[in-house]
Amino acid sequence: MATSSKQYLTRGEELWKGRSEKVNAELFALTYGALVVQLIQDYEDYAEVNKQLEKMGYNIGTRLIEDFLAKSNLGRCSDFREVGEVVAKVGFKSFLNISPSITHQAPPVPTSPTRPTSTAQANSAGSSFSLIFDENPLAEFVELPEDALEGGLWFSNVLCGVIRGALEMVQMQVSAEFISDVLRGDETTEMRVKLIKHLEEEVPIGDD
């Protein structure tokens, strides 16, 4: 079931257009900005703020995935590469109307002589993809002050949590983190999502 990336793009486009309740982008950006500012005032430690944003994103992600699965009606992805494609082209498009570009990285080559085939590689723990955001609706009007830059604040860290939460609900444990951010003066905003492992389905506790 090799759906081409173009089909994913059109699907994402359809889902975005099909959404009945949309929020004003400026209101969204300003509300998120106010949220981050409030967190900074409360915690006063940028690492902690990053953690809290990620946690909030996690809670959002665990529910967002239901919305996504219900509306998009997509089946299970065959490998982690496809997961990345779906996240970038359908997921972000249908919720935020942005299409980040994606680059895949295979897992690091082990020293063992018996190498698995490339398709198996794409699904094994350690494979990752990077999302590069040309536009970030969360950071529309944002400029980071000096101490935020020094403190290591990742402004859009909530997105990392969303991806982690959503993928965990479909049996994948991933780590998502920002590598660079234009708000911090880097050239691109890039998020790396790495597969840690596939989670096993739970079985009921046998109490007999």
Q: With respect to another protein, which residue has the nearer C-beta, 1 or 109?
A: 1
Choose which of 2, 27, 109, 203 interacts with another protein (CB under 8 A): 203
Minimum distance from residue 103 beta carbon to another protein (Å):
25
Q: Which is nearer to another protein, 59 or 188 (CB)?
A: 59
Nearer of residues 143 and 200 to another protein, judged by Cβ: 200
Number of residues that bind another protein (CB under 8 A): 18
Contacts to another protein from residues 58-87, by CB under 8 A: 62-63, 65-67, 69-71, 75-76
Exposed/middle/buried for residue 146 (C-beta within 10 Å: 0-12, 13-18, 19+)? exposed
* Minimum CB distance to another protein, residue 162 (Å): 14
What x/- string results for residues 86 through 125 when contact with another protein is judged by CB under 8 A?
----------------------------------------
| Residues facing residue 101 across a β-bridge | 132
Contacts of 193 (CB under 8 A, 6+ apart): 84, 87, 128, 129, 130, 131, 163, 167, 174, 175, 176
Residues 25-64 as x/- pattern, contact with another protein by CB under 8 A? -------------------------------------xx-
Per-residue x/- track, 127-166, another protein (CB under 8 A): ----------------------------------------
| Binding segment toward another protein, per CB under 8 A, in 39-47, 112-120, 156-164, 168-176 | 168-176
141 Rama class: left (phi>0) / alpha (psi -120 to 50) / beta:
alpha
Q: Is 197 in the site for another protein (CB under 8 A)?
A: no
Chain contacts with another protein (rule: CB under 8 A): 62-63, 65-67, 69-71, 75-76, 169-171, 201-205
